[in-house]
Amino acid sequence: MTGHTPAASTPLAATLDDTDRRLVVETQTGLPLVPRPFAELALRLGIAEEEVIARFGRMLEAGIVRRIAAVPNHYRLGYAANGMSVWRVPAPVIDEAGRLLAGLPFVTHCYRRPAHPPDWPYTLFAMVHARDRAEVEARIRTMADLLGGRSLGHDVLYSTRILKKTGLRLSA
C-alpha cells in the first residue's frame, strides 16, 4: 500500500510527533509476533490500540510508511528456488501482461521496469518462489503460455544469496 510523499519542503521529522516516532522505532524491525500486535504496541506506548491503527493509517496516507506486510523467509518455508522472471513486453500490452502475471497464485511480485537495449530488453518482472528449479521452470512455462504473443522473449534470474532488506531506521 503506498500513499503520496510528503512535500519535499517538509522534513520527515517535522511530520512525526513523539508518539509517531516511538511507534516507528518500535516497529522498524517488525511487528511484535503476538496474536494482537497493535494491542501490544499500544501497551508499550501507553495509548489505545485504535490510536495505533489510526496513526499507522495517517502515516500510510502521508507516504511516511509505505506498507505494513508480512515478509516471509522463503527458504525457511521450503522454497529454495527463487527465480525473477524477466519479460520483453511491448508498451501497448504491458499493463495487460502485468495483470495476467500478477494474477497467478505463484507470482509474489510483478512490476514494470525500463528496458536498456540492447543489453537489457526486459520491461516486466515477476518473482516466482518454488521448492526447486524444475518447479520454477514449469511455472515460467505456464507464464509464457499465458502471455503468448504479448511477450517477445524472457529469461529467469535465480537468487544466489539472501539479501537483508531494511528500510529507514530511526534512532530512539
Residues 117 and 85 in one domain: yes
pTM: 0.62
Residues 33 and 88 in one domain: no
- For residues 19-38, give the mean pLDDT: 91
Confidence of residue 169 (pLDDT cuts 50, 70, 90): low
Residues 153 and 88 in one domain: yes
Answer yes or no: are the C-beta atoms of 110 and 101 closer than 8 Å: yes
Look at residue 129 and tell me if it is in a domain.
yes
Q: By mean pLDDT, which of 1-15, 19-33, 120-134, 136-150 is the weakest?
A: 1-15
In whole angstroms, how far apart are CA 117 and each of 113, 114, 127? 12, 10, 22
Residue with cell 503468448: 148
Residues 87 and 148 in one domain: yes
Residues 89 and 152 in one domain: yes
Residues 89 and 51 in one domain: no
What pLDDT score was predicted for residue 37?
94
Q: What is the average pLDDT value for the chain, to the nearest integer?
A: 87
How far apart, in whole angstroms, are the C-alpha atoms of residue 167 and residue 63? 13
Helix H or strand E encompassing 81: strand 81-87
For 75-133, write each residue's pLDDT tens digit: 788 778 889 999 999 999 999 999 999 999 999 889 999 999 999 999 999 999 999 99
Look at residue 72 and tell me if it is in a domain.
no
Per-residue pLDDT at 6 exceeds 80:
no
How far apart, in whole angstroms, are the C-alpha atoms of residue 133 and residue 158? 9
CB atoms within 10 A of CB 95: 12
For residue 93, what are the domain limits?
Answer: 81-158
Look at residue 7 and tell me if it is in a domain.
no
What pLDDT score was predicted for residue 11?
52
Q: How many domains does the chain divide into?
A: 2
Residues in the chain, how many? 172
